[in-house]
Amino acid sequence: MKSTMSNGTAEINPSSEMDTEGSIHQLVSASDTFRQVDNHEVEMAASSLDTLLRQIREASTREIEALIGDLQQLHKKLQNDGCRIQHDVEDYAELSQLVMQLTKDIADSLPKIPAAPGIVPEAD
């Protein structure tokens, strides 16, 4: 920008002023273009990040649901096995009581058997 002094006032050369305005306009245009490209890149990055996060969320949700399903199956199996074992223990306890009663009945009936000839009971 060229300026000259005449009569104590500054005069600006019109061609110089137009060059400066053109340069400023070019800078502003370049800045706007850069901002548009930059904004577009930011939007693309945000979109990519959103897509990635959605995929991670969906994969995590599927995995958690699969784990919940597996745990529910294990819970049912444990309940069924527990019921079966409880039933088996009750059956064993009943059988054990019957065997003990039968053993007692047999033991009680032994002294009533007459001694066979030639067999001498042992003395205590």
| pLDDT value, residue 119 | 65
Q: Which two tokens stand for residue 39?
A: 């904004």
Residue 4 located in a structural domain: no
Cross-strand partners of 10? 5
Buried b (16+ CB within 10 A) or exposed e, 4-31: eeeeeeeeeeeeeeeeeeeeeeeeeeee
- Look at the chain and report how many structural domains it folds into: 1
Q: Is residue 68 part of a domain?
A: yes
Average pLDDT, the chain: 79
Tens digit of each residue's pLDDT (9 = 90 or more) over 50-69: 899 999 999 999 999 999 99
pLDDT digits (tens, 9 = 90+) for 6-62: 455 555 555 666 676 767 667 666 666 555 556 677 778 888 888 999 999 999 999
Residue ranges making up the domain that contains 85: 14-108
